């Protein structure tokens, strides 16, 4: 990963042979990965890999915001996703970030089971429809949905091929409720 690039959680930054895992990163099997959305920087003096929010003043979520969220749990009637980024903002989010996406809010068409549309660990783009008393999300528009999906077998990033997603590592084929720009989103304009 090139320094100063915007990165998503889970993205590979470096290896533990090259750098140490610093603020905003974590290490797994010798790979240093981003733990949050932000800009990738290297503290040359301490050989630390870090992911920095550009400013420390937090942003409050508002109704109508377009956000990125990481899918945590999937129930029969809803998806629970952690809001990790507000479009156009480089600040962290203050307060509660647990969003709920009801089954009726996933798509324009009927969705029987959210487990056919999303998987835990996916990064989705969603719209905030409510912030109080809890955060509600929707992904009905074609610009919304999964922008980065992980293989449920080996956790590698899924690559879009026609209407199906395929794992570049193990060849596993999966489907998702993808955003129209899946795999080709602009990382500097999230």
Q: Report the interface residues with Zn ion, using CB under 5 A.
A: 151, 153-154, 156, 167, 169-170, 172
Q: Closest distance between Zn ion and the C-beta of residue 37, in Å?
A: 24
Q: Which is nearer to Zn ion, 91 or 160 (CB)?
A: 160
Q: Closest distance between Zn ion and the C-beta of residue 146, in Å?
A: 16
Q: Which is nearer to Zn ion, 39 or 176 (CB)?
A: 176
Q: Closest distance between Zn ion and the C-beta of residue 121, in Å?
A: 12
Q: Closest distance between Zn ion and the C-beta of residue 99, in Å?
A: 27
Q: Which is nearer to Zn ion, 54 or 170 (CB)?
A: 170
Sign of CA dihedral 130, 77, 116, 140: negative
Q: Closest distance between Zn ion and the C-beta of residue 150, in Å?
A: 8
Q: Which is nearer to Zn ion, 68 or 167 (CB)?
A: 167
Q: Which is nearer to Zn ion, 88 or 171 (CB)?
A: 171
């Amino acid at each position: 990963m090139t320094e100063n690039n915007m990165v998503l959680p889970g993205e590979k930054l470096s290896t533990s042979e090259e750098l140490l895992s610093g603020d905003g990163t974590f290490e797994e099997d010798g790979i240093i990965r981003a733990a949050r959305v932000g800009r990738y920087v290297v503290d040359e003096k301490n050989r630390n890999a870090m992911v920095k929010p550009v400013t420390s003043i937090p942003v409050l979520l508002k109704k109508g915001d377009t956000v990125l969220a990481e899918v945590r749990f999937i129930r029969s009637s809803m998806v629970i996703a952690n809001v990790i980024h507000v479009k156009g903002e480089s600040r962290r989010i203050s307060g509660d970030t647990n969003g709920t996406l009801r089954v009726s809010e996933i798509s324009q068409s009927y969705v029987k089971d959210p487990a056919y549309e999303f998987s835990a660990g996916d990064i989705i783009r969603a719209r905030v429809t409510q912030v109080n008393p809890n955060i509600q999300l929707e992904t009905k528009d074609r610009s919304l949905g999964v922008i980065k999906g992980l293989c449920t077998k080996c956790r590698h990033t899924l690559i879009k091929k026609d209407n199906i997603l395929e794992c570049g590592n193990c060849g596993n084929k999966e489907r998702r409720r993808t955003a129209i720009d899946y795999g080709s989103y602009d990382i500097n304009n999230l």
